[in-house]
C-alpha cells in the first residue's frame, strides 16, 4: 500500500544531494506539503479530479501555482499523494474486526468507526467515491490486491461466526458491502441527506440517531438484537 504514498522522485524539490537525512523533509516542506494536501483533498473531493484546478488548490493553500508545482511535479502526482495519504486510515477500521470478539460488539464498533469517519472526514469518503466511480484508475491495483485480501480475511471471520451459530447465515461479502454502503452514504450523499432531513452527521443528535438506527437494523438483520421482538400497543 506504499506505491501510492509520496513518490516525489524528480522534478520537484528534494532532488539535490545535500538532503536532511533520508526522506525527511525540512520544516517549510512539511508545512507546505501539508497545506497543499489539505487544500487538494477539499478541492478534489468537491469537484472531482477533472473539475479541480491547480490554481484554485494553490490559492486555497495560500501560495502561488508555480510554488505548488515546485512541491508536486504535476496535478496527477498531487492527486495520488492525497489518495495514498488517506488510504490507510480508510482501511483501518475493517482491520480491527476481531474473530475472537463478540460479533455484536465487533460489528457495533465497526459500524461506529465507519460512521465516525463519514462524520469527521466526509471529504475523504467522497474522494474515494469519486475515484472508484471513475473506474478506480489509480486505485485499481490496491483494490484488487490489498483490499480484496483484507475483505477475504474478514469474510472468514464472519463465516466463522456463522458456523459457530453466533449470527444468522448471510453472505459475508454482502454484509460488508451493506455496512460500507450505509455508513458512507451519509458522507457521499450529504447534500441529499440535508435536503431531506435538514441536517447531517455533523449534528450530534442526527449522528446518534443514525448510528442507532443503522446498527440496530443490521444487528437485528443478523439475529443479534436483544429479545425485544414486539413493543407495540
Select the binding partner of residue 29 from its own copies, DNA, none (C-beta < 5 to 8 A, by kind).
Answer: DNA
Contact 212, 172 (CB under 8 A): no
C-alpha cell at 208: 446518534
Chosen residue from 181, 202, 204, 208 binding its own copies by CB under 8 A: 181
C-alpha cell at 167: 449470527
Select the binding partner of residue 202 from its own copies, DNA, none (C-beta < 5 to 8 A, by kind).
Answer: none
CA separation for the pair 50, 223 (Å, rounded): 45
Piece in contact with DNA (CB under 7 A), picked from 50-58, 93-101, 182-190, 194-202: 50-58
Chosen residue from 74, 96, 202, 213 binding DNA by CB under 7 A: 74
Q: State the CB neighbour count (10 A cutoff) for residue 146.
A: 13
Site size for DNA, by CB under 7 A? 27
* Backbone torsions φ then ψ of 33, nearest 5 degrees: -60, -40
For its own copies, the closer of residues 15 and 163 by Cβ is 163
For its own copies, the closer of residues 31 and 148 by Cβ is 148
The count of C-alpha atoms lying within 13 angstroms of the C-alpha of 73, restricted to the half-sphere facing its C-beta, is 12
Cell 469519486 sits at which residue? Answer: 130
Binding site for DNA (CB under 7 A): 11, 13-14, 16, 18-20, 26-29, 32, 52-55, 63-67, 69-70, 73-76
Amino acid at each position: 500500500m506504499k506505491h501510492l504514498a509520496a513518490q516525489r522522485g524528480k522534478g520537484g524539490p528534494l532532488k539535490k544531494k545535500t538532503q536532511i537525512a533520508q526522506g525527511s523533509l525540512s520544516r517549510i516542506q512539511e508545512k507546505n506539503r501539508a497545506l497543499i494536501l489539505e487544500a487538494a483533498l477539499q478541492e478534489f473531493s468537491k469537484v472531482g479530479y477533472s473539475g479541480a484546478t491547480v490554481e484554485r488548490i494553490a490559492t486555497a493553500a495560500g501560495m502561488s501555482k508555480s510554488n505548488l508545482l515546485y512541491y508536486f511535479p504535476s496535478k496527477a502526482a498531487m492527486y495520488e499523494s492525497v489518495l495514498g495519504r488517506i488510504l490507510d486510515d480508510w482501511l483501518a477500521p475493517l482491520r480491527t474486526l476481531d474473530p475472537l470478539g463478540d460479533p455484536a460488539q465487533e460489528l457495533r464498533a465497526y459500524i461506529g468507526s465507519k460512521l465516525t469517519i463519514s462524520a469527521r472526514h466526509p471529504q475523504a469518503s467522497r474522494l474515494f467515491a469519486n475515484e472508484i466511480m471513475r473506474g478506480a484508475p489509480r486505485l485499481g491495483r490496491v483494490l484488487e490486491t490489498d483490499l480484496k485480501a483484507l475483505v477475504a480475511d474478514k469474510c472468514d471471520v464472519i463465516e466463522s461466526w456463522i458456523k459457530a451459530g453466533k449470527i444468522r447465515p448471510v453472505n459475508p461479502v454482502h454484509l460488508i458491502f451493506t455496512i460500507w454502503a450505509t455508513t458512507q452514504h451519509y458522507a457521499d450523499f450529504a447534500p441529499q441527506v440535508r435536503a431531506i432531513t435538514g441536517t447531517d452527521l455533523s449534528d450530534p443528535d442526527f449522528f446518534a440517531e443514525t448510528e442507532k438506527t443503522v446498527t440496530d437494523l443490521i444487528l437485528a438483520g443478523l439475529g443479534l438484537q436483544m429479545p425485544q421482538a414486539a413493543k407495540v400497543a
